[in-house]
Structure 1
């Protein structure tokens, strides 16, 4: 029976192609984070190793950017060449990505250290300060998500990327809450299963974040991109 679809163009084919592409992108993400993975496996999780983790996480920025670029293209065009697109996205804005990522990584590292300190010191004032730091950490991570999504899909100056990230963090509340929800669910899965699971769920998590932030990306293209 002719349903108007050629072979390989049905819903099942689309789903399997997406799964295959996301699997390949996740593999490339893991490979480009092999340094961090090595230290995650070999070191005992401790705040004393924060400097090593900091250095090992430096290549993670371009990896996240490459993943966002590839999945952004997948959502827009409905198909990609995973190998070509991932590594093109990796080198496309490599320097700009590091300029965005390193300050964020430094701030996150400092917040984690301070949060650990206040949690150890058992007093009411320290608990209050710890709670405030936790809120700041969540806001920083939320803004960071927009930084990566915007940097990977548009060509803005670094300061404009930060401005847009903060702007959309507070003006697109639905998308922001959705992103926070996705992150909380991911952290919960990591807690229940293993920290390592984030590397192997990276493609799915990034796809969910990109789909949830699709309206933000469209709004940026509509209002901040010059039409030629």
Structure 2
């Protein structure tokens, strides 16, 4: 009988704690690098834009590449949690290829609406009744951002039609209040990072934030799989 012990195949992760910790760190680093790479056209433009209301449309335009990049990151991190291996780049590019068009179908309109809302909010002081409208527009902006967070997860992980995913995202705002509150907390954390550090710090933490978003969305994802996904 041979005394040679079984070895992990290329791409497999060892069973030790150190091996798994190293693999997790490797995955997040690779996903982070690919996120920055695919979103780079817009990220490089953002520092060149002054923080002025007149630049809001340009900021929205610069953020267009970010949507497919975030979706691919979610797809890759979900793949790692389901079946860990050492091929993060392959999963990232597969997610990008599968989902970029579906993501842009809601991401671009979302950015347009957010740009309009942001522009209106910055000019409310010169409009009669502006102080009354400000809370309403603020709530609308918050609700839309939370809807987008749910939508991003659903489109990245499932193959729903855009209108069906949009309805589900709105449905789960109330159906899973814990998930919605968690997404809001991540939004506060992201906003605070930008305000008190810089947008580049947030960009360099993007994969970690996506991991938190994916973990937070776990109950919603499980609910979708149980109620809306046909079992093989």
Mapped contact 1:70–1:80 kept (Cα < 8 A): no
Helix, strand or coil at the partner of 1:86: helix
Task: For residue 33 of structure 1, give the secondary structure of its aligned residue in structure 2.
Answer: helix
- State the distance in 2 between where 1:205 and 1:176 align: 15
| Residue of structure 2 equivalent to 1:181 | 185
Aligned: 1:61 with 2:67: yes
C-alpha separation in 1, matches of 2:85 and 2:115: 36
Q: Secondary structure at the match of 1:196?
A: helix
TM superposition score normalised by structure 2: 0.89
- Residue 140 of structure 1 aligns with which residue? 144
What are structure 1's unaligned runs of at least 5 residues? Answer: 1-5
- For the pair shown, the structure with the greater C-alpha radius of gyration is 2
Asked whether the 8 Å contact 1:96–1:158 carries over to 2, the reply is yes
Deviations, residues 119-158 of structure 1 (Å, cap 9, x unaligned): x4387x3122111111111110100011110001100011
Q: Is the 8 A contact 1:73 1:80 kept in 2?
A: no
Contact kept? 1:168, 1:216, Cα under 8 Å:
yes
**1:211 aligns with one of 207, 212, 215:** 215
**Residues 223 and 176 from structure 1, CA distance in 2 versus in 1: closer, same or farther, beyond 3 angstroms?**
same
**Structure 2 spans left out of the alignment, 5+ residues:** 1-7
Return the alpha-carbon distance in structure 2 between the equivalents of residues 42 and 113 of structure 1. 19
Structure 1 residues 80 and 225, CA gap change in structure 2 (3 angstroms): farther
2:166 pairs, out of 149, 159, 162, with 162
How many matched pairs? Answer: 221
Match of 1:103 in 2: 109
